Amino acid sequence: MEFDPQMDPRERAKWAAAQGALDFVADGMRIGLGTGSTAAKFVELLGRKAQAEKWQVVCVPTSEATARQARSLGLVLDSAYPDFGPLDVVVDGADEIDPHGNLTKGGGGALLREKYVALASRKMVVIADEGKHVARLGETFRLPVEIVAFAWSQTIERLRPWMEEIELRRTPTGEIFVTDQGNYIVDCRLAPISDPALLQRELKGVTGVVETGIFPAIASLVVTGRPDGSWQIKNFTSPA
């Protein structure tokens, strides 16, 4: 059903990427579950596979939305959740992917938990359609930065030297968007990022910044789905 020819080509590509990621999970694994429309497709396929093959997997979701979806599919969450130990793999989406496997994330507002889960995983499998690939991060997507709600306008002022434009994220009804951690997010337009690891370090030094959407050299591999249902894998853990 996911490869319905009537479906939008980008949706078909997302399903293909999610399907490709199934090759990196197995019975008995501890699996991190990403957030967003692509990750949700993987969670659905994993739920079906685990049920059909009676897999015993333990999952750690990166957002409350993903937790609800996983539970509804019968996937078992770590009994310690929201705490959790090391994971075998996390499968998650991305907003942008550069040729070195650096990412920006946080379009769905889950960047902080996504980073915790990615850093706790032996392998990070990124699933995306071709539209997510860019020459340099920051080219197509505003960088999300999670900030403390207290004195949020002061944090915005401290971020200005790096940014061309900063916008506090709001919900479609105009309320301030609040993350699962009770923080705010600012979406920042900036010049394309030449050194993602350096910018990440600099922004983390700003008082009020909790985390950034830059994921420098964290992805192990990227599965890029195509509208015809095929996918391509690029590995970032071994020399090209």
The CA-CA-CA angle for residues 40, 174, 14, to 5°, reads: 20
49 Cα distance to chain centroid: 22
223 binds ligand 5RP (CB under 6 A): no
106 binds ligand 5RP (CB under 6 A): yes
Selected from 92, 98, 180, 187, the binder of ligand 5RP by CB under 6 A is 92
Would you say 11 or 30 has its CB closer to ligand 5RP? 11
Q: How far is the CB of 39 from ligand 5RP (least distance, A)?
A: 6
What count of residues does the chain have? 240
Selected from 19, 38, 102, 121, the binder of ligand 5RP by CB under 6 A is 38
CA atoms of 97 and 215, how far apart (whole Å): 10
Selected from 57, 75, 94, 203, the binder of ligand 5RP by CB under 6 A is 94
101 binds ligand 5RP (CB under 6 A): no
CA atoms of 60 and 24, how far apart (whole Å): 16
35 binds ligand 5RP (CB under 6 A): yes
Q: Catalytic annotation on 11?
A: no
CB-neighbour burial class of residue 110 (10 A; exposed 0-12, middle 13-18, buried 19+): buried
Starting at the earlier edge strand, list the strands of the sheet with 165-168: 165-168, 184-189, 143-147, 209-212
CA atoms of 187 and 167, how far apart (whole Å): 5
Q: Which residue has the tokens 């959407």?
A: 213
CA atoms of 214 and 9, how far apart (whole Å): 27
Would you say 40 or 159 has its CB closer to ligand 5RP? 40
Catalytic residue among 114, 130, 146, 202: 114
Per-residue tokens: 125: 């499998």
Would you say 94 or 188 has its CB closer to ligand 5RP? 94
Q: Please count the residues of this chain forming the interface with ligand 5RP, following the rule CB under 6 A.
A: 18
138 binds ligand 5RP (CB under 6 A): no
Selected from 108, 196, 216, 227, the binder of ligand 5RP by CB under 6 A is 108
114 binds ligand 5RP (CB under 6 A): yes
37 binds ligand 5RP (CB under 6 A): yes
110 binds ligand 5RP (CB under 6 A): yes
Gyration radius of the chain over CA positions: 18
CA-nearest of 178, 179, 192, 182 to 142 is 192
95 binds ligand 5RP (CB under 6 A): yes
179 binds ligand 5RP (CB under 6 A): no
Q: Tell me, what amino acid is at 187?
A: D
Interface residues with ligand 5RP (CB under 6 A) are: 34-39, 92-95, 105-111, 114
Residues that are catalytic = 114
